[in-house]
Amino acid sequence: MCSWTPDFRKSVSMAPSSALFLTPVCFDAVGCTHVDRVFTFDKVFGPKSQQMSIYDQAISPIVAEVLEGFNCTAFAYGQTGTGKTYTKEGGMRNKGDEVPVEAGIIPRAGCQIFDPHES
């Protein structure tokens, strides 16, 4: 059985590009050989990425397409504890009507859909 884990030494060294190198980690030697693979992504966000930046670059265009009548999906995938839920939901909402800096993609999408003048 093999699982794929990021080779962070290669990934971090090429952070400005859109490729991520994955290295196999074998738990059972049957049928598993070491082969480097390169996967290309539209965007790769680092651990210091801000919620607004992620939303503006990756989600806002998808929401705009939904409003034009297209079926779209934003899919969050990753290892447990890597921040998927935080990215989707974000921090607590301010007591006013403003969306806080920590707001995730769900509250930001709601603002974009229901109050397009505010987004």
Residue ranges of the annotated binding site are 78-85
Specify the long-range contacts of residues 35-42, CB closer than 8 Å, at least 24 apart. Answer: 36/7, 37/4, 42/18
Specify the long-range contacts of residues 74-79, CB closer than 8 Å, at least 24 apart. Answer: 74/105
> What is the end-to-end Cα distance of the chain in Å, rounded?
46
**What residues pair up with 23 in beta bridges, in sequence order?**
5
Which residues participate in the annotated binding site for ATP? 78-85
The residue among 47, 27, 48, 25 whose CA lies nearest residue 36 is 25
